[in-house]
A and B are shown apart, each in its own frame.
Chain A
Amino acid sequence: MPGEALDQIFVRAKGSILSLLSGAPEWLVQIVSALISITALLVVFPGLFALISVLERKILGRIQNRYGPNRVGPFGLLQPLADGIKMLIKEDVVPFRADQAMHFLAPIMMLVPALLALSVIPYGRNMTPFAIDAGILFLFAVGSTTELAVFMAGWGSNNKFSMLGAMRAIAQMVSYELPLIITVLPVVMVVGSLSGDAIVAAQDGYHFGIIPRWFVTTPWGATAFLLFFTAGLVESNRTPFDVPEGESEIVAGHMTEYSGFKYATFFMAEYLGMFAVSGLGVTLFLGGWHAPIKALEIVPSYMWFFAKLSVLLLVFIWIRGTLPRTRIDHIMNFAWKFMLPMSFTCVLAAAVWHYQSGGLRGWLWSLALIVVIYVALSALLQTGRKFAPRTYRFAE
């Protein structure tokens, strides 16, 4: 295969480091191997976080017709460095009546699950840092612990804004965890495995030689991907679902009483969570590290993964620059009345697709099923006729 040397360069580098230890006992080799993977994760993702934080401000600036950061370094690219130094030398204020232990532990409990979740995603051919049989389940299991961290931040701060923000965050995270997991279910059903590597391997090859066999090209996959992405927006508390930290109402939600590096830790955890959700979306629906065209397979696999990841992150930022904040009761209604039934529809459609053995007939049948249920659901949830046109007493 052309370009294999470049494709496997990181795998080989790790192998050559490990071969230095050839005489060492096996447990030492395992520990060193794990440490290498951990170091790689700890270098790549905080680095990506720094890059994305400045890019986000630049892109938002472009959307809002202003410059964005442009003082530090060329094009303002060294801004994250300046931000980091600023955060480190800021005073760390802890409220007098705060629950000291909980206030201290919350940012750490936020960051650790995000880092753990990133460890099971296949970043390239043979490049899964922690390849286990139940990788997707592992990701959701560690991801579900962040709710407790948010609660600890809110309760530990001993502040009404913090508590309200934490309540909102937990409410929407719990509600959207259900659609998030159920939209993953069709992929797991069709592949028959919870391991990220198996899911990526199942999306290898091309329909008719041109269209890649990514799950997003099937009707159920496309629907599930859209639902998954929406639920991912909510889980990472991003606009338009950022009510937990709505500045105009509750200051900064559960992060109100945090300053300096603890605040930065929260910020980083939020972005790492966003990377984990996007990486999972790429793995499940966008073919993981596979190339979109056969001719482009010479480009290393990890480049494809990070290209797709960047596109998803760009959409995250684009949505943040475009959409206004949603009201919390609308978010909840949307979760239970629309997202949940539609994600169950995806499961059904995937089953139909699977038992028609995935051909053109399966494609059409699953599309028909999704369209019928979507139309029926829209008609059922139609609220337009309940409200008369708005009348004004004084503002005519």
Chain B
Amino acid sequence: MNTGALAVIAILTLVGALAAATLPRLIHAALCLVLGFVGLAAFYILLGAEFVGLVQIFVYVGAVAVLIVFTILLTHLEATGRDPFNWLGALVAVTVFGGLLWAIFNSGSVWQPHVPNQDLTVRRIGDALMTAYIWPLLCVGILLTAAMIGALILVFEEK
């Protein structure tokens, strides 16, 4: 793997994430979070997962970021100075991080040598989704449809 590119991407992602957590204005924080999303997408592409990287940009930058930004816009809360340090939040964050680390180090796949998967084409991903993973795909489809209908009912004018 290209170490130089990895360093640049890692710094970009971490700076974006840190800024998102610390900046006082919510809009700035949201836009810095987008920087983190882009850094992650670049990381996927560097690993050869071109499709996942592009979908990361498409879904997170194109849709989720717009959603976050609009939520901030509509709720219109401005920070009025710094809150005191949140010990409970820090505890939760450390616990989640530790749990993830434990899970990753115990999964076994970390210690195997990296095998470059050259023919990871969109066609293969599509084939896998349409054959081996068809039931999860259908379930996700039904879930999203239900969510969309629910959203429509919420905004329906009562007559």
Point out residues on A near B: beta carbons under 8 Å: 99, 102, 132-134, 137-138, 140-142, 144-145, 147-148, 151-152, 155, 170, 174, 177, 192-194
Contacts and interface: CB of A to CB of B under 8 A. Distances in A.
Contacts of B70: 170
A170 B66 CA distance: 9
Contacts of B134: none
B63 interface: yes
Contacts of A194: 122
Contact of B57 (A99, A102, A145): A145
A102 B57 CA distance: 20
Nearest to A195: B122
B122 A133 contact: yes
A192 B123 contact: yes
Interface size class of B (residues with CB under 8 A): 20 to 34
Interface in B62-76: 62-63, 65-66, 69-70, 73
B72 to A, nearest CB: 10
Nearest to B73: A155
A141 B123 contact: no
Interface stretch (B47-55, B89-97, B137-145): B47-55
10 smallest beta-carbon distances between A and B, as pairs: A144-B62, A141-B58, A141-B57, A141-B54, A137-B54, A145-B61, A134-B122, A194-B122, A147-B66, A133-B121
A25 to B, nearest CB: 14
B31 interface: yes
Contact of B69 (A138, A141, A148, A193): A148
B69 to A, nearest CB: 6
A145 B62 contact: yes
B27 interface: yes
21 contacts: A102-B27, A132-B50, A133-B50, A134-B122, A137-B51, A137-B54, A137-B58, A141-B54, A141-B58, A141-B62, A142-B57, A144-B61, A145-B61, A147-B62, A148-B34, A148-B69, A151-B66, A170-B66, A174-B63, A177-B62, A192-B123
A140 B51 CA distance: 12
Interface in B16-51: 27, 31, 34, 50-51
A144 B122 contact: no
A174 B66 contact: yes
Contacts of B69: 148, 151
A152 B50 CA distance: 28
Best-buried of A102, A145, A174 by chain B (most CB within 10 Å): A145
Best-buried of B34, B50, B66, B123 by chain A (most CB within 10 Å): B66
A141 B27 CA distance: 22
Nearest to B58: A141
Contacts of B34: 148
Contacts of A142: 57
Nearest to B61: A145
Interface string B110-130: 000000000001110000000
A144 B62 CA distance: 5
A193 B126 CA distance: 10
A235 to B, nearest CB: 12
